[in-house]
Amino acid sequence: MVEKALVLMSGGLDSATSLYWAKNKFDQVQAITFNYYERINREKIAARAITKLAQVNLTEVKIPFIKEKSDYSHFKRKFNSQPSQSYIPLRNLIFYSIAGYFAQVNKISNLVGGHNSTDGKIFNDATESYFRKMNELMLQGLVSSIDCKIFLPLKDKSRPDVIRLAKTLKVPIELTWSCHRQGKFHCGRCYACKQRLNAFSLLRSKDPAPYSK
């Protein structure tokens, strides 16, 4: 039996690493990405470039009515700071539900998401227990013989761990995009950029992705 997987692709380091992990685990791999309102253009470019290089078909879903919502109070409670980052309410519930639909109609039984151990500490809908409950709901909503299982290969990995795995899997790290600001290069100043740079620093390694000078 051919094992198929659908990877949720953002264009970031985590999703790219999960894509290459899936290529090593499953017989056939596809990817899906979501173009919501004012999504950072470089994310789209990264998702397309990485999947093309990996020779994986990418489905782009337009959801222009979905918008990011600033909620600095949420992050302030978590970190006693206000990083420049926004979130999408019910993001993972929406994205995985759509991905689950595409998986069903294409007879794909495995969904793969790139959420590392830090994500659950920031977002309530990125914890392992949340995905377990969501997987149970998906199974209850299906009437076909194609089961649905969510894989989170990075759930126990820190950002440095993810980078180590990415290098082992030969992920094109230089093509990934993490910055939360529009621009041609990573800004190096937003919350995501600082986390990424710090992870490479802990590994005594240089991030091959381009940054603004």
Angle among Cα 17, 20, 24 to the nearest 5 degrees reads 135
Fold exhibited by the domain 4-174: Rossmann fold (3.40.50)
Instruction: Kindly report, residue by residue over 111-147, the tens digit of the pLDDT.
Output: 999 999 998 888 888 999 999 999 999 988 887 667 8
- Confidence class for position 148, pLDDT limits 50, 70, 90: confident
Check pLDDT > 90 for residue 21: yes
Instruction: Kindly report, residue by residue over 201-212, the tens digit of the pLDDT.
Output: 999 999 999 999
Check pLDDT > 60 for residue 82: no
Instruction: Kindly report, residue by residue over 49-81, the tens digit of the pLDDT.
Output: 999 999 999 999 999 999 887 554 554 455 444
For the chain, the average pLDDT equals 90
User: Are the C-beta atoms of residues 99 and 6 closer than 8 Å to each other?
Assistant: yes
As a dihedral over the C-alpha atoms of residue 117, residue 186, residue 45, residue 100, rounded to 10 degrees, the angle is: 20
Q: How much is the average pLDDT of 135-161?
A: 89
Check pLDDT > 70 for residue 36: yes
Query: b/e for 121-151, b at 16 or more Cβ within 10 A?
Result: eebebbbeebbeebbeebeeeeeeeeebebb
Helical H segments across the chain, by residue range: 13-25, 41-53, 72-79, 91-105, 119-122, 128-140, 159-168, 191-202
What pTM does this model have? 0.91
- Confidence class for position 185, pLDDT limits 50, 70, 90: very high
- Confidence class for position 86, pLDDT limits 50, 70, 90: low
- Confidence class for position 188, pLDDT limits 50, 70, 90: very high
Q: How much is the average pLDDT of 101-113?
A: 94
Neighbouring-strand partners of residue 58 = 31
pLDDT confidence of residue 131? 95
pLDDT confidence of residue 107? 92
